[in-house]
Amino acid sequence: MKNRGRFRKYVPSILLLLLFEAVAVVLWLVRDNLFYLLNFSYIGCCLALGTALFAAGKRYTRHFVQLAVGCYMLLYLGVISRENMQIEGFWYYLFLGAFEAATIHYAVAKIFGPLLFGRGWCGYACWTAMVLDFLPYRQPQKPRREKLGVLRYVMFALSLALVSGLFLMKAADLEQIMFRMFLAGNALYYIAGIALAFAFKDNRAFCKYLCPITVFLAPASYFSLLRVHCDESKCIHCGKCLRVCPMNVEVNKGSRRRKNGTECILCCECTKVCPTKALH
Ligand code: SF4
Ligand code: SF4
Ligand code: SF4
């Protein structure tokens, strides 16, 4: 029985590995391109290893996964291979009708994957958050400004309008423009992310107020198979989980409708501090 309990905590890691390996093998065979096998196997192994070490109680493993996956995607796929993996790149390849790395990445990590692993992308792989999470405000020092969340939809619409405009104007050398946009967009995200973190005393302020990707991530996350459960009968309402949560999730409620439930990045900070083990 005890062994079964020990094994259970590694189930998410095994599921992640199997999911990414399945995607890797299917895309490799269908697209006849070894890149997909290597790419998704690497990401799946990093995520599985990191989450397994994390479940085993090792510190800093989430940062390790963020750096291993985030740097690979930003530097190798983005800068060296010149694949625009930002939301503008997704629109670009979508309009081209190209089922390339960026569109596949969005489908797996941000549109359908969240049905299984929620906002795991935001907790373990995002190259913007991998930097923001090293800033000094891991626990938000100020209440969340719910109304500012509307800016994410504005950013989403702007990104779509920008790429649509380039297509409508039949801009020359779109490939080069998209690469420059990738570099400039990432620089702006880092500057805005760091400025917002200090202004709001909250490392994840950019995620809460500006990041357009959440428009994709949130709906499927609501139905996520992997999520932090709360056994309300064990909760003594000490509020510790609420204080450490970087995303202001009302995690001491069991319902999927809990406030900011679709914001959970599965960092598990709340489960570590719960004195009654109500969260798992
Ligand atoms: S909300 Fe955006 S910036 Fe934040 S972790 Fe998720 S994808 Fe990255
Ligand atoms: S602290 Fe808990 S509820 Fe908050 S984001 Fe992390 S896992 Fe989710
Ligand atoms: S830390 Fe545990 S006991 Fe305290 S409020 Fe959260 S769920 Fe309840």
Q: Is the alpha carbon torsion for 30, 35, 37, 39 positive or negative?
A: negative
The answer to whether residues 224 and 115 touch, using CB atoms and an 8 Å cutoff, is yes
Q: What is the pTM of this model?
A: 0.91
Return d(Cα 174, Cα 78) in angstroms, integer: 16
CA nearest ligand 1 atom 3, residue: 207
- Residue 114: C-alpha distances to residues 54, 145, 222 (Å): 20, 25, 8
Q: Taking Cα atoms as reference points, which of 179, 16, 181 lies closest to residue 108?
A: 16
Residue 38 alpha carbon to ligand 3 centre in Å: 41
Instruction: Write the single-letter amino acid at 5.
Output: G
pLDDT, tens digit, for every residue of 127-174? 999 999 999 999 999 889 989 999 999 999 999 999 999 999 988 889
Number of Cβ within 10 Å of residue 71's Cβ equals: 12
The answer to whether residues 86 and 186 touch, using CB atoms and an 8 Å cutoff, is yes
pLDDT, tens digit, for every residue of 199-243? 999 999 999 999 999 999 999 999 998 899 999 999 999 999 999
Domains within the chain, CATH numbers bracketed:
86-221 (no CATH), 228-280 (3.30.70.20)
> Which of 228, 232, 236 is the pocket-test mutation for ligand 3 (most atoms within 8 Å of CB)?
236
Q: Ligand 3 within 6 A of 252 CB? A: yes
Residue 109 alpha carbon to ligand 1 centre in Å: 12
pLDDT, tens digit, for every residue of 67-108? 999 999 999 999 998 888 899 999 999 898 877 777 888 888
Which atom in ligand 2 lies closest to the alpha carbon of residue 248?
Answer: 4
Return d(Cα 93, Cα 101) in angstroms, integer: 9
Catalogue the long-range contacts made by 64-69 (C-beta closer than 8 Å, 24 or more residues apart).
65/124, 65/125, 66/124, 66/125, 66/126, 66/127, 66/129, 66/130, 66/133, 67/130, 69/43, 69/124, 69/125, 69/127
Instruction: Give the confidence band of 58 by pLDDT, cuts at 50, 70, 90.
Output: confident
Residue 177 alpha carbon to ligand 1 centre in Å: 23
- Exposed / middle / buried, residue 162 (Cβ in 10 Å: 0-12, 13-18, 19+): middle
Residue 232 alpha carbon to ligand 1 centre in Å: 29
Q: Ligand 3 within 6 A of 253 CB? A: no
Average pLDDT, the chain: 91
